[in-house]
Amino acid sequence: MSLYENTQKLINRAADTMELSEEVRKVVNEPERVLSVNFHIHRDDGKIQMVKGFRVQHNTLRGPAKGGVRFHPRVDMGEVKALAGWMTIKCAVVDIPYGGSKGGVEIDPRDLSEGELEQVTRQFTQAIAPIIGPRRDVPAPDVYTNAKIMNWIADEYHCVHPNEDDYLAVVTGKSLDNGGSLGRDSATAAGGVIVLESYLKKTGEELKGKTVAIQGFGNAGHHAARILAEKGAKIVAVTDSKGGIYVENGFDPMKAHSCKLEKGGIGECLTEAGSNGGEEKKISNEDILALECDILVLAALENQITEANVNAVKAKVVVELANGPITPEAHETLENKGTTVIPDILANAGGVTVSYYEWEQNLRHEKWTEEAVAEKLEKSQRQAFEDVDKVKDEFKTDYRNASYILALRRIESAFEEKHSGKAHGFSCMTE
Ligand code: GLU
């Protein structure tokens, strides 16, 4: 099954539960626009390399399209379509006035020099420039892209559209000295922790003392480890793409992160992180999913928990900080065995929410304090959890389905508003 079929399956499951109108079901089942581009870069060794890229705008009923750009050697159109669809749903769950989009470039940035990376970014931006814009479609960071890459996107877009005064608002996740927002860097992780705390509070529990394993030690994963540890949770394991570590008595994730930056992989950091008495060992990316722990945070890539390994999962709560890390079939198995899944479209929505704050600051020429951003994010994620929780009770369903239902309701009202009382003539279709 393709990743986009997963997205459709989840949309249609919620559509069935809530009896969504057929028109809206059809509209959200297909992306509005898909763009596939090919460009070339000059490698440092003098060779020319062709590169493939994609940008998909899934739906813009609720506002301009919004979604990150990932650089990854295995990106393809199906994946980008799925991720764009999830952005539509995500923005509606947290009620920010955006539709959904996503971009991908089929390249391994770890193989590129800084100059080559800049070329890839600028060429890709030129290729998609006709369809992006501050009020049309706004890219952001995603897997293996960062603030520096976002700065290049803004700059290249400005080269193509020199008269666009608001060009900084064409992309979010920029550096602080270039229109970026305080708090954007850690927003995905912070938002996930807020939702997790809201959930625990509802069940009469707290984070303090909970054992946590985190798959993925990139931007989302390492900030999550830090924030969770600050709140008293015990981080017992983390992995990155090359493997990782398990320390029974828990470890300081920031020390471990500095070591990862120095040595290139968290798997090399057992001595730095551990040596505090209990069991300590190196573990694989697969082992971490089966660890005995209270909370498992998935912060790597999609399709990590599948039918093949779902039965090994022992955590009582699984938080999806990555997009789509659990297949729909594996999710059903988890729910059936009583595991609570805090779904991606709710758990990781803090990132796009603070992207929205950055966009607002750019358009209003303002600079908000870190406290103001954190306070707004806290309120927004809490509200989203409460809204989803109400729908969950209403339909007696799981958090994922409830999040989709909430989102589809909001998309349906945007659809109705757009079409209410307007007889569509064909002289002018712009609205
Ligand atoms: N890439 C992030 C996500 O999947 C953030 C998108 C954004 O900030 O627009 O939610």
DSSP 33-94: EEEEEEEEEE-TTS-EEEEEEEEEEEE-TTSSEE--EEEETT--HHHHHHHHHHHHHHHHHT
Structure tokens at 339: 């595991």
Find, among 402, 340, 355, the residue nearest to 185 by Cα: 355
Pocket probe for ligand 1: among 87, 137, 357, 358, the residue whose CB has the most ligand atoms within 8 Å is 87
What's the CA-to-centroid distance between 250 and ligand 1, angstroms? 30
What's the CA-to-centroid distance between 273 and ligand 1, angstroms? 30
What's the CA-to-centroid distance between 421 and ligand 1, angstroms? 35
Any idea what DSSP says for residue 20?
-
Please give the Cα distance from 263 to 258 (Å, whole number).
Answer: 9
Q: What superfamily in CATH does domain 187-347 come from?
A: NAD(P)-binding Rossmann-like Domain (3.40.50.720)
Q: Give the count of beta carbons closer than 10 Å to the beta carbon of residue 422.
A: 9
SS3 293: coil
Measured from the CB, is residue 354 less than 6 Å from ligand 1? no
Please give the Cα distance from 54 to 105 (Å, whole number).
Answer: 6
Please give the Cα distance from 31 to 84 (Å, whole number).
Answer: 8
Find, among 303, 304, 273, the residue nearest to 287 by Cα: 304
Nearest-10 crossing angle of helices 370-395, 350-364: 130
Span 261-272, pLDDT tens digits: 999 999 999 988
What's the CA-to-centroid distance between 149 and ligand 1, angstroms? 14
**Residue-level pLDDT at 428:** 64
Please identify every stretch of the chain with a pLDDT value under 70, giving residue numbers as ranges: 421-431
Ligand 1, atom 5, lies closest to the CA of 352
Q: Please state whether beta strands 99-106 and 48-59 pair in parallel, antiparallel, or not at all (unpaired).
A: antiparallel
**Residue-level pLDDT at 2:** 85
Measured from the CB, is residue 142 less than 6 Å from ligand 1? yes
Name the catalytic one among 81, 90, 102, 174. 102
Measured from the CB, is residue 410 less than 6 Å from ligand 1? no
Structure tokens at 325: 């890390």
* CA of 143, closest atom in ligand 1: 1
Measured from the CB, is residue 322 less than 6 Å from ligand 1? no
User: For the chain, what are the domain ranges?
Assistant: 31-169, 187-347
What's the CA-to-centroid distance between 351 and ligand 1, angstroms? 6
Cβ neighbours of residue 272 under 8 Å, at least 6 residues apart?
255, 256, 259
Measured from the CB, is residue 109 less than 6 Å from ligand 1? no
Please give the Cα distance from 115 to 126 (Å, whole number).
Answer: 17
> Alpha helices of 231-274 — where are they, by DSSP H?
253-263, 270-273
**Residue-level pLDDT at 420:** 82
Please give the Cα distance from 110 to 113 (Å, whole number).
Answer: 8
Please give the Cα distance from 223 to 189 (Å, whole number).
Answer: 6
Measured from the CB, is residue 351 less than 6 Å from ligand 1? yes
Measured from the CB, is residue 57 less than 6 Å from ligand 1? no
Span 370-423, pLDDT tens digits: 999 999 999 999 999 999 999 999 999 999 999 999 999 999 999 999 988 665
Q: What superfamily in CATH does domain 31-169 come from?
A: Leucine Dehydrogenase, chain A, domain 1 (3.40.50.10860)
User: How many degrees, rounded to 5, is the angle at CA 56 between CA 62 and CA 175?
Assistant: 80
β-partners of residue 211 are 234
Q: Is 102 an active-site residue?
A: yes
The whole model's pTM is what?
0.96
